[in-house]
Structure 1
Amino acid sequence: MKRDSLNFIDLFAGAGGLSEGFMQKGFNPIAHIEMNQYAAMTLETRSIYYFLKKVRRLNVYYDYLRGDITRAQLLEAVPPEVLQTVICEEMSTKTISNIFEQIDLIMEQDGINHVDVVVGGPPCQAYSLVGRAQSKHMETPMEQDPRNELYKMYTRFLTKYQPRMFVFENVAGIKTARNGAAFRNLQSHLKRVGYVIEYRELNASDFGVLQNRKRMIIIGWRKGTDFRYPDFPIVNPHATVSDLLVDLPALERGQTLNEYRPNLPINQYLRRFRIRTEHDVLTHHVCRSNTNRDVEIYRRVIELWNDNHSRLNYNHLPEELKTHKNRSSFVDRFKVVEGDMPYCHTVLAHLSKDGHYFIHPDIEQCRSISVREAARLQSFPDSYYFEGPRTAQFVQIGNAVPPLMAKGIATQIKALLGD
């Protein structure tokens, strides 16, 4: 099966949002390279899901999600080669030769003699608008961040494996980083190793994701081939953000409830985009223990939105509710998720620090969103399990490419490749 499939390598894979979209379209992952331990464990767990699904033993996976078996027992339930596709290493000039050796061994063992697509995007903090704003208050400016040069690792993979196409994802702010010099350097390196490239700023909301999330998507193909930048049809999901949340149980702050609301059928959006199926086990529906001060602010934020779609300005809070000395920037630091709109604002990894920017729209709950709610906003299916503590889960989710967006990209790439 692997020889006949379209094969891809995922670089800087994170929790696997890009991989998930490509795998849903039938692409075979040769390797996922990710340096973060918890994200790599998440990738392993998802690889196990796909293996057990193929051999019709998903009951073992669901036993793990229910807590009936340990992770060690889950790992023992699959052959070792299922896990070897996940390479947990930092990419650098010192490690890249070893990473290449591991990938070459995987390809040899699986009888794979070519790579069709390389996907991925280096860490984007140094390119993001938010990162640059924060850089003013840091000892080492973002412009000097060594992660700015990680795209050179990406081009090393293009040179080594000569994929027919590649998909390079990053924040929209990459175009203006370092006054545009970073983006010009990136394009130059991608072209220098033998690829024609085009780029567009795409929005996840055009792929059926209920989130306003703009990303720069660079697509390249080997010189001399007749590929092109795909045209992506706009998907209208005919839904609002509340459709993502309605079947999840109401939570009190600090509570965990991993049972779907009883007697509530799976709605059209969840079913159409396979966010939830009849077989799923609910996990990660846990929220923070917000303080009384936070809850009072949240109540005001939700009321303002519900009354006339207004946002709270931090400076308009009573003095007894203010704790931040900075009153001139990030005055919108408290924000409700737009439940009655066709998409919400961009989900960020900052969720790991606090939930003030992602307040649940239900005033009766008056809390920040749960891990599972964040995953759904990113279009991860409920069967997706994120390893590590809650903070690490929020980081993985916030940094991910929405799988629905990735699937839309993979669909058109597959059509171009003719398979």
Structure 2
Amino acid sequence: MTEYSQYIDGLLKPKVQEPAVVLDLFAGCGGLSLGFEAVGFRTIGFEMVDEAVDTYNRNLKGKCYNQFLEVGFNYPEEENIDIIIGGPPCQPFSRFGNQKGMEDARDGFPIFIDAVRRLQPKVFLFENVANILGRHKWYLDLIVQELQNLGYIVEYKVLNAVDYGVPQRRERLICVGHRASFHFPAIEREKRTVAEAIGDTMLSPEPESKILTSRQDEYIAVYEKKSHCVNPRDLYPDRPARTITCRNLAGATSDMQRVRLADGRRRRLTYREAARLQTFPDWFEFSGTETKQFYQIGNAVPPLLAYKIAQQVKNTYYLEQKSEEYILQRNIPNSLFAI
């Protein structure tokens, strides 16, 4: 283990102690939920992928349900759900997909908005690809307007995980709704590196099955020449990693995540190395085949980034609580609070 991985292992252990419950829609394997449990919230997750549900339930204190969500779905009424979070599937907006946006059957935003409308949480948060600010900006504007119409102040910003202690350059749009005040986490000056995360394993040739063949090396060389790469796209120990994705982990593509060994050979990452670069603790166990594990890791929000955001959401949640107490004490109609 590296000193950094030991730090992550301790920091991100669930410490459930808050009365509020966090509802995580499209929860995946629990990267976002893990950050919220590490700051004290209990979570309830909903996810369709069997292996991701099993991973969530093996590692988090909360419960994840293997359930297809739709508009009008009946969420647990007995739970004290005060916060809703989630990552509506990003494929409709990703620059690597067909970019069908709201015409894509996987668009989860109507479900997310419906949940906010019916449960009226004190705070909500969703994340998505930064590319939604491009050709789909009109749709983001529509989403924001719908949420504002429910009485929330809605703010969004593109955050790069590398600015918050994650050893990886990864941009995501974070959108938060509240009725009090919210501050995005402050950018950190120190940038974590690949060596800090996987320096204890990255120069090991094991497992041999991941060593690139000469044919793969030739294929990568052609790709890098055509794309005018100044430097080979290997992982460099003194820099943060490139964005971890399902595609560049699970597939033996020209853009695959790889390390260069001392003898000049290159190999693909193990799932454990990929998990560390995403800031999953070493104790976090993934279910399914290696490919399924790679997909869970690549789709996840880095738990450390989630933790930093969750700290700010927690502050907002308590501001909401104080505002409601003030209204009750002054006997001010609740309608005045719903701005």
The interval holding the TM-score normalised by the smaller chain is 0.7 to 0.9
SS in 2 for 1:119: strand
Shift of the alpha carbon at 1:236? 3.9
Indicate the residue corresponding to 2:331 in structure 1.
none
Report the residue type matching 2:90 in the other structure.
C
SS in 2 for 1:202: strand
Indicate the residue corresponding to 1:348 in structure 2.
245
Q: Which one is further off, 162-171 or 288-297? A: 288-297
4+ residue runs over 4 A deviation: 1-4, 295-298, 329-332
Indicate the residue corresponding to 1:146 in structure 2.
105
Residues 58 and 285 in structure 2, CA contact (< 8 A), matched pair in contact too: yes
Indicate the residue corresponding to 1:5 in structure 2.
19
Equivalence map 1:27-176=2 (5 Å): 27-29=41-43, 31-47=44-60, 50=61, 85-93=63-71, 96-97=72-73, 99-100=74-75, 103-104=76-77, 108=78, 112=79, 114-132=80-98, 144-148=103-107, 150-176=108-134
Q: Which one is further off, 184-193 or 382-391? A: 184-193
Residues 21 and 403 in structure 1, CA contact (< 8 A), matched pair in contact too: yes
Shift of the alpha carbon at 1:115? 1.8
Report the residue type matching 1:144 in the other structure.
E
Equivalence map 1:215-364=2 (5 Å): 215-221=172-178, 225=179, 227-237=180-190, 239-248=192-201, 250-252=203-205, 254-255=207-208, 288=210, 290-295=212-217, 314=223, 316=225, 335-341=233-239, 343-350=240-247, 351-354=249-252, 356-364=255-263
SS in 2 for 1:146: coil
Report the residue type matching 1:116 in the other structure.
D
Distance 1:117 1:361, change over 3 A: farther
In 1: Cα distance, 2:112 partner to 2:22 partner: 13
Aligned-residue identity in percent: 32
TM-score (norm 1): 0.65
Residues 129 and 173 in structure 2, CA contact (< 8 A), matched pair in contact too: yes
In 2: Cα distance, 1:213 partner to 1:176 partner: 17
Distance 1:233 1:147, change over 3 A: same
Distance 1:297 1:362, change over 3 A: farther
Shift of the alpha carbon at 1:196? 1.6
Shift of the alpha carbon at 1:292? 3.3
Shift of the alpha carbon at 1:165? 0.5
SS in 1 for 2:210: coil
Distance 1:6 1:338, change over 3 A: farther
In 2: Cα distance, 1:188 partner to 1:167 partner: 15
Choose between structure 1 and 2: higher strand proportion: 2
Cα RMSD between the aligned structures? Answer: 2.8
Residues 295 and 367 in structure 1, CA contact (< 8 A), matched pair in contact too: no
1:301-327 deviation per Cα after TM superposition (whole angstroms, max 9, x unaligned) = xxxxxxxxxxx66264xxxxxxxxxx6
SS in 2 for 1:230: coil
In 2: Cα distance, 1:216 partner to 1:363 partner: 38
Report the residue type matching 2:241 in the other structure.
C
Distance 1:389 1:115, change over 3 A: same
Q: Is residue 196 from structure 1 mapped to residue 153 from structure 2 by the alignment?
A: yes
Mark the runs of 5 or more structure 1 residues left unpaired by the alignment.
Answer: 51-81, 136-140, 256-286, 299-311, 317-326
Aligned residue pair count: 302
In 2: Cα distance, 1:228 partner to 1:361 partner: 47
Shift of the alpha carbon at 1:176? 1.8
Distance 1:189 1:330, change over 3 A: farther
Distance 1:151 1:357, change over 3 A: same
Distance 1:4 1:207, change over 3 A: closer
